[in-house]
Structure formats: structure tokens, C-alpha cells
Homo-oligomer: A and B are copies of this chain.
Amino acid sequence: MKEPNVDDLLYWLGLAAVAVTAITGVLDAGRKRMDLVGVIMVGTATALGGGTVRDILLDRPVFWLSDQWYLIAAMATTVLSFFLVRGWHLPPRLFLIPDALGLALFTIVGTQIGLQWHAPWLAASLLGVMTGVVGGVLRDVLCNDVPLVFVHGELYASAAWLGAMALILLQAVGVSSVIAAWCGMALIIGLRLLAMAYGITLPVFRGRT
């Protein structure tokens, strides 16, 4: 079974995004000297965590319980990369572009599902952002780190949020949902790549308390 209203291309992109996200979990878990089971659990939680939280909040069936292929993609990727990444030297920067694609796809699909399940607009945009970033937050909490997405760095969650808002605004003014989705994804990918290329960041909090 597929995600509703997402065509075949998006379905395969979704599986690919799940796989890419799982690898970022594996790399992080490796730094904490986790064993095979720990790596599988952290990688799978990273890949599926965002969509799971979205589905629980919307009280809709959890996507990897309806369609087991997401789970198989996540677990197979973690097992493969557990054995492969030990042998090869993969520069982390290699994953930044697939990761931006995954962020864009997860965010737009999440926002769209939020709207379909009648979440109000601001809540729907946040559900989209959560679909995109909660997996990474879970990864960092399980690895006992401060979540990377919260600390100072190039635009990430903010790029996702702007893309989600673009999707909602374009649909509100009558643009078809397919075109709005592509525009939203392009905006997220573009902002993220620009932010990495030019080091664009948000202000940091410096409280005196």
C-alpha cells in the first residue's frame, strides 16, 4: 500500500529518502561504539521516526505498519552500511545532497498529509517540519547528544518550514497540489544548498540569565 495521493515516483523517492536517512543514523551510532543491534535500532528510528510521530499526532495508521517496505528499506540499509561503511572511507559531505532531498521530500509529504487530515495550516506546516527533522532529533537523543538541528548551523528546519509554508500558500491561492509540491521541494533544496554554500545561519540565542 502506498502513501495516499503520492504517485509512483514519490513512492520510490520516499523509500530512497528513508534509506539515506538511515545511513546518517548509522554513522552517528558508530561514533558511540554501538553494536549491530544498536546501529539497526538507531538507524531505523532515524529513518522512520519523523513520519511515525506525524502519524501518531494525526491518529492515522503508522505508515510502516501499513506498508512494511519502508521498514525493510530502513533495516536493510542499516545492515548493509554497518558492514560496508567499516571498509570504505565515505566523506560525510557525500550525504549532504541526498539528505537535502530527503528533508524536502519528507517535509512536503508530511505537510500534505497534515492538510488531508484536516490539521489547521500552521499545525500542518509544523507536522511537515517534524516529519523532516524528528528522525534526526531522535537519533541525537538516543546517542545522548544535543540534537544537531537545534544548535547553531546552516538553515535546515527553517528551510523546511519555508517550503512547507510555500506549499500551503500556493494551494490556498489555487495552484494545483502537484505543482505546489514541486515548488515547495525546490524551495527547500535550494535554500538548504544555498545555506551550505554561503554559510547562511540564523541568529543564536545569547541570554544573560
- Residue numbers of A with Cβ under 8 A of B are 26-27, 29-39, 41-42, 52, 56-59, 61-62, 64-65, 68, 71-72, 75, 82, 85-86, 88-92, 119-123, 126, 137, 141-147, 149-153, 156-158, 161, 201-209
| B30/A206 in contact, CB under 8 A | yes
What is the chain B residue whose CB lies nearest that of A154? B35
State the Cβ distance, A88 to closest chain B Cβ, in Å. 8
State the Cβ distance, A107 to closest chain B Cβ, in Å. 13
| A36/B141 in contact, CB under 8 A | no
Partner of A85, one of B72, B126, B209: B209
Which of A26, A35, A72, A137 has its CB near the most chain B CB atoms (within 10 A)? A35
- Bound-state Cα–Cα, A144 to B131, Å: 21
Q: Can you list 8 A-B pairs with a CB-CB distance of less than 8 A? A: A26-B207, A32-B146, A33-B204, A35-B151, A35-B202, A85-B209, A144-B144, A144-B145
Decide yes or no: A151 and B59 within 8 Å by CB, A119-B65, A209-B30, A209-B91 being known contacts: no
State the Cβ distance, A114 to closest chain B Cβ, in Å. 9
* Those 4 A-B pairs whose CB atoms lie nearest each other, nearest first: A38-B150, A30-B207, A30-B205, A68-B120
| B208/A89 in contact, CB under 8 A | yes
